[in-house]
Amino acid sequence: MPERLPDQTPVWDLSSVISGLQAERERWRTSHCRSIESGGREFPAPPAVHAAIKGIVAALFPMRLGPDTLRKEAEDYFVGSTLSCALGVLYEQARLELGGRSAATDPRAPALREAEAARQAETIIHGFAAALPAIRRLLDSDVEAAYRGDPAATSVDEILLCYPGVAAVIHHRVAHDLFLRGIPLVARIITEIAHSETGIDIHPGATVGESFFIDHGTGVVIGATAVIGRNVRLYQNVTLGAKRLVKGDGSMVDHDTPRHPIVEDDVVIYAGATILGRVTIGAGSVIGGNVWLTHSIPPGSQITQAQSQAGPEA
């Protein structure tokens, strides 16, 4: 007769696992020259950024993406209350990002660095808050573009409620503004939230013109230095990527070297197309599905799969 019954869960050797994990952390920290023995969080926290961006999205479109009990007459109160909270959280996350970064490079005393980080964070969030109306205006152009671009859409409202491409662009436009103001890590966390929810991966550094629409969207990748004009439409699995990441001398390219495509106004890129390198897709061009393109094309081009593989020099 066994003494221990199945419901008596066994005892794990926790202390050896814990010390094993501690040794691994120690090894990592030593090899990355991190000697901090104690203290709190040094990076932005994804859950905090998540709360902030969801608040900002709701403040941008209160009646459609806010709480379902919201009433029109209370819109402004909701917007103010929600923004006050979300901006406060963003400010804290900006301080964490700036403080963590400066700790690695700024030889001044911690107190001075912290004060500097706080001042910068304040400037960033002030600027961001003031930019929100312009961001909303851009997003309205995106929603209208989506409505015009999809015959299956039955109303502009459906677009906001259901289209993952629009959700990804809302997150991108907010993140891009924060990226330009100097908190790229917070910005990246925001776009990764959208990536996880929609399968659309737009680097916050990418520049995107008004009336942008991504249909279906899963698998879309847009790189950090891509530049997209006005009234551009993409479908699922489109990549606007880099051709090479290694320079002639074998070293990695710098992270702000222009290496992703420029897509001019009024271009349509169908599903699965891959465009790589600092090439220019001329205005009004149409890129067919699954096309593989690594050279520039003039305005008004119509590229199909066969053409693309031959290349312009063929």
Nearest to 173 by CA among 53, 282, 270: 53
CB-based contacts of 243: which residues, under 8 Å, 6+ apart?
A: 259, 276, 277, 278, 294
Give yes or no for a contact between 191 and 204, defined as CB atoms under 8 angstroms apart.
yes
- Tell me which of 182, 209, 258, 272 binds a copy of itself, using CB under 8 A: 272
- Is the Cβ of residue 20 or residue 298 nearer to a copy of itself in the bound state? 20
Long-range contacts of 99-103 (CB under 8 A, 24+ apart): 99/42, 100/42, 100/43, 103/42
Number of H-type helices and E-type strands within the chain: 9, 14
Contact flag: residue 37 with a copy of itself (CB under 8 A): yes
For the CB of residue 290, give the shortest distance to a copy of itself in the complex, in Å: 5
Q: What is the dihedral of CA 143, 144, 147, 148, to 10 degrees?
A: -140
Chain residues 120-149 in contact with a copy of itself, contact rule CB under 8 A? 122, 125-126, 129-130, 132-133, 136-137, 140, 148-149
Between 78 and 97, how does the x/- string for binding to a copy of itself read (CB under 8 A)?
A: xxxxxxxx-xx--xx--x--
261 binds a copy of itself (CB under 8 A): no
241 is an interface residue for a copy of itself by CB under 8 A? yes
Q: Contact 98/183 with Cβ under 8 angstroms?
A: yes
Q: Rounded to the nearest whole angstrom, what is the least distance from the CB of residue 208 to a copy of itself in the complex? A: 17
Q: Stretches 170-178, 252-260, 277-285, 295-303: which one binds a copy of itself (CB under 8 A)?
A: 252-260
263 near a copy of itself, rule: CB under 8 A:
no
Q: What is the largest CA-CA distance in the chain?
A: 83
Can you tell me the distance from the alpha carbon of 156 to that of 187, in angstroms, rounded to the nearest whole number? 27
- In whole angstroms, the minimum distance from the beta carbon of 269 to a copy of itself comes to 14
Q: Residue 9 interacts with a copy of itself (CB under 8 A)?
A: yes
21 binds a copy of itself (CB under 8 A): yes
| 151 touches a copy of itself by CB under 8 A | yes
Q: Footprint of a copy of itself on residues 153-212 (CB under 8 A)?
A: 153-158, 161-164, 184-185, 188-189, 192, 195-199, 201, 203, 205
As beta bridge partners, residue 208 has 228
